[in-house]
Amino acid sequence: MEVVSENKNEVGKVSSNAGADMRESVVLKLDGEIGWLELDLKGEKVNKFSTPVMLRIKEVLEEIKSNASIKVLVVVSKKKSIYIAGADINEIKAITTEEEFLKAVEAGQGIMNEFEDLKIPVVAAIHGACVGGGCEFVMSCDYRIASDDKSTRIGLPETSLGIIPGFGGCVRLPRIVGIQQALPMILKGSMGGIIDMRKAKKIGLVDEVFPAEIFEEKVKTYVQKILKNGAKKRKKTHKPKGVMNKMIEGPLKGVAFKKATEGVMKQTHGHYPAVLEAIKVIKDTYGVKNRDKAMKREAKGFIKVAVTDVSKNLINLFFMTEDVKKASGVVGKEVSPRKINHLSVLGAGTMGGGIAQLAADKGIMVRMKDLTNEALAIGFKAASAIWSKKLKRRRLTKFEYKQKMDRLSGGLDYAGFGITDLVIEAIVEDMNIKKAVIAETAKNCKDDAIIATNTSSLRVNEMAEAHPRPENFVGMHFFNPVHRMPLVEVIRGEKTSDEVTATIYELSKRMGKIPVVVKDAPGFLVNRLLLPWLAEAMFLLDDGMDVVKVDRMYTHKFGMPMGPYRLMDEVGLDVCVKVLKIFRASFGERIQTSPILEKLNNPKRMGKKSNLGFYKYGGKKRQEFDQSVLSELGLGSRTNPLSEEECIKRGIYAMINEAARALLEDKIVDTPEEVDLAMIMGTGFPPFRGGLLRYADSVGIKNIVSDLEVYESKYGLRFKPAESLVKLAQEGGSFY
């Protein structure tokens, strides 16, 4: 976005203490009465408030103050689709002490205050993403105008990183838009709190929105108008309209805060302190006239949550996902992925339909193949249901909806497979059938077409034997429900080529997923780690524990999105039983199953899909525990003899034990980061705990091993600590 014309004078080159890079990153240009502050952080894709940038800005601010000819200041970004991306998260990550945090927050708040206190009005001309510190900055400006570009979005994602806005955002956003709008934005963070310009204009966060194509011209006109009107300062304050809003923003605001807190508690069970702290800070500062006092309160809140492990874990998770964005799926080599324009899906069930939906959503033409038209219809329905929801919520127009649906077609034969770049197989989990289908499919495809299997329990290498060109065969394991679970396990078979691995890795990202490359072994990574937990849950039933109680322990206390029994219902009880048996066969004594597994064979009780599992589904109410399951499994009345601590430890430690084997012994993945990322994205393992292995490290490997040894003596070989875990404990080491 070229906003500054040639005839402007650059100033400030002589007096600067900053390095040349910084001088070029933050440039003040004069154009008559207008000062243009251009941001273009050298050597970085984004503009951010790092310490050197802030020092340089301070320097420039002094120049502005000393130059009486400047009547208005306009702040623009020279980046293509970024305005300001916020504070430097790397710096936050490096800070550990309260003193350092206080210094950092005060520095940031100080800069924002200085802009707010300038004698001349400041215009933020926003084109591109304006988030976190960037959003806090524009809120300290007098005027905010924005382009309507798709990339121009604004919001405060801090709570998603376990911190709160600390550069005055908690104070200024409620002032500008009111608490009814500010609370959800801040509490949702990057999970829906970042808004587009249509909304930003509507709630009064930006003053004007102009077409991106003529933004430059419009900015100039806008600034001229401000000059013409006397270059007045302005401090926007939200004025609620209507009695109801006036009450909520005024005398009844306590109710609004209470409701917000309740909502957060219900969703997070208090595991995310930053969100709660944000509410408290807003409550304590909303309407407070004394800025210093309000800022001090915000700083205090920031520090309180920034030093927590939760924040560190969430920031680590952020960097892990950032790493995935940069990665290719192949380590140590430059590999360029192939382009996927046409995708075929074998098996148009809920899974196949879900995969088809993901691809078509991203502009890929999709062909589904199944045995009957009725089966194809299920695929169409699965895809349309997801888009229909978005249509209802106005996230899609009816034209966009139709365009996406148009990309789907279906057939009973191999029509279209000759132009397909990738076939994803989502048919019945039966090795012989799969092998036959893979061989037949390969015959109907181009030689360089990739075939990927979405198997969850069968071996990729064995399937690859059926493919005449096994380098083009790979596993691509989605998790159910496909459109909600962010993980894709890319299973690299022995013969899978680098290019094919990179292609599937890239495609997963294009579909909005987080891919993790894993080796082919029973259960791959996530299911392998998850199943000991589910198996243990059966033993807990044997021991007299109550289904609802145990589920609650795992959700409320530990933070899992659902407890083991709910999860089994979700996956399907028949599937769980089948896979557990496969595991028992593959891994021997360390996977043991409770005798009640054999009784879990009622064809009407298959979990959510049959509306009956451990819980009852399909009614108007939320699912309800089904008492009859106990007698059906031959279980007596529930005595709940075990402590919450033991119930959680037995399940989680069983997973950690298996993770040690998977990572350290079988090398299914290379790093503990991959285990943690996969568990968080694939099972919803609580992100605030940083993942299974970070959690293990925080407990201490020695402690875990000694507990496992106790359980082993009590309950048998299934708890025998893995050799690698014992070794790690002996060395006093940790996974990270």
Is there a cis peptide before residue 687, judged by omega within 30 degrees of 0?
Answer: no
CB nearer to other proteins: give 419 or 648.
419
Answer for which of 83, 380, 387, 615 binds other proteins (CB under 8 A) is 380
β strands within 524-679, DSSP E: 615-616, 624-625
Using CB under 8 A, which of the segments 171-179, 266-274, 403-411, 721-729 binds other proteins? 403-411
Q: How far is the CB of 380 from other proteins (least distance, A)?
A: 4
Is residue 157 within 8 Å of 182, Cβ to Cβ?
A: no
Spatial CB neighbours of 509, under 8 Å, sequence gap ≥ 6: 324, 325, 515
Q: Tokens standing for 264?
A: 């957060």
Answer for which of 232, 241, 381, 578 binds other proteins (CB under 8 A) is 381
Q: How far apart are CA 182 and CA 589, in angstroms?
A: 55
CB nearer to other proteins: give 6 or 374.
374
Q: How far is the CB of 417 from other proteins (least distance, A)?
A: 7
Q: How far is the CB of 412 from other proteins (least distance, A)?
A: 9
Q: Which residues face 626 on adjacent strands?
A: none
Using CB under 8 A as the binding rule, whether residue 419 contacts other proteins is answered as: yes
Answer for which of 247, 327, 377, 635 binds other proteins (CB under 8 A) is 377
Q: How far is the CB of 350 from other proteins (least distance, A)?
A: 13
Q: How far apart are CA 509 and CA 496, in angstroms?
A: 19
Q: Which residues face 49 on adjacent strands?
A: 87
Answer for which of 67, 409, 602, 724 binds other proteins (CB under 8 A) is 409
Using CB under 8 A as the binding rule, whether residue 374 contacts other proteins is answered as: yes
Q: How far is the CB of 500 from other proteins (least distance, A)?
A: 21
Using CB under 8 A as the binding rule, whether residue 723 contacts other proteins is answered as: no
Q: Tokens standing for 357?
A: 């939906």
Using CB under 8 A as the binding rule, whether residue 416 contacts other proteins is answered as: yes
Using CB under 8 A, which of the segments 14-22, 247-255, 374-382, 429-437 binds other proteins? 374-382
Answer for which of 151, 321, 384, 611 binds other proteins (CB under 8 A) is 384
Q: Tokens standing for 488?
A: 């894709």
Using CB under 8 A as the binding rule, whether residue 411 contacts other proteins is answered as: yes
Using CB under 8 A as the binding rule, whether residue 415 contacts other proteins is answered as: yes
CB nearer to other proteins: give 367 or 689.
367
CB nearer to other proteins: give 389 or 578.
389
Using CB under 8 A, which of the segments 212-220, 378-386, 512-520, 619-627 binds other proteins? 378-386
Footprint of other proteins on 349-368 (CB under 8 A): 365, 367
Q: How far is the CB of 410 from other proteins (least distance, A)?
A: 7
Footprint of other proteins on 637-666 (CB under 8 A): none
Ramachandran assignment for 76, one of left (phi > 0), alpha (psi -120 to 50 degrees), beta (any other): beta
CB nearer to other proteins: give 374 or 731.
374
Number of residues counted as binding other proteins (CB under 8 A): 20
Using CB under 8 A as the binding rule, whether residue 221 contacts other proteins is answered as: no
Answer for which of 270, 287, 418, 733 binds other proteins (CB under 8 A) is 418
CB atoms within 10 A of CB 15: 10
The answer to whether 342 is a known catalytic residue is no
Using CB under 8 A as the binding rule, whether residue 391 contacts other proteins is answered as: no
Q: How far is the CB of 379 from other proteins (least distance, A)?
A: 9
Q: Reduced to 3 DSSP states, what percent helix, strand and coil does the chain have, rounded to the nearest 5?
A: 55, 15, 35
Using CB under 8 A, which of the segments 255-263, 416-424, 528-536, 722-730 binds other proteins? 416-424
Q: How far is the CB of 442 from other proteins (least distance, A)?
A: 15
Spatial CB neighbours of 393, under 8 Å, sequence gap ≥ 6: none
Q: Tokens standing for 25?
A: 């990153």
Is residue 157 within 8 Å of 268, Cβ to Cβ?
A: no
Q: How far is the CB of 480 from other proteins (least distance, A)?
A: 20
Using CB under 8 A, which of the segments 88-96, 327-335, 417-425, 426-434 binds other proteins? 417-425
Using CB under 8 A as the binding rule, whether residue 347 contacts other proteins is answered as: no
Spatial CB neighbours of 192, under 8 Å, sequence gap ≥ 6: none
Backbone angles phi, psi at 372, to 5 degrees: -135, 160
Is residue 305 within 8 Å of 266, Cβ to Cβ?
A: no
Q: Specify the long-range contacts of residues 5-12, CB closer than 8 Å, at least 24 apart.
A: 5/31, 7/31, 8/36, 11/63, 11/67, 12/59, 12/60, 12/63
Is residue 491 within 8 Å of 527, Cβ to Cβ?
A: no
Using CB under 8 A as the binding rule, whether residue 62 contacts other proteins is answered as: no
Q: How far apart are CA 592 and CA 605, in angstroms?
A: 22
Given 271, 342, 477, 483, the catalytic residue: 477
Q: How buried is 714 (Cβ within 10 angstroms: 0-12 exposed, 13-18 middle, 19+ buried)?
A: exposed
CB nearer to other proteins: give 418 or 595.
418
Q: Determine the number of helices (DSSP H) and then strands (DSSP E) in the chain.
A: 31, 21
Footprint of other proteins on this chain (CB under 8 A)?
Answer: 365, 367, 373-374, 376-377, 380-381, 384, 402, 406-407, 409-411, 415-419
Residues with catalytic function: 477
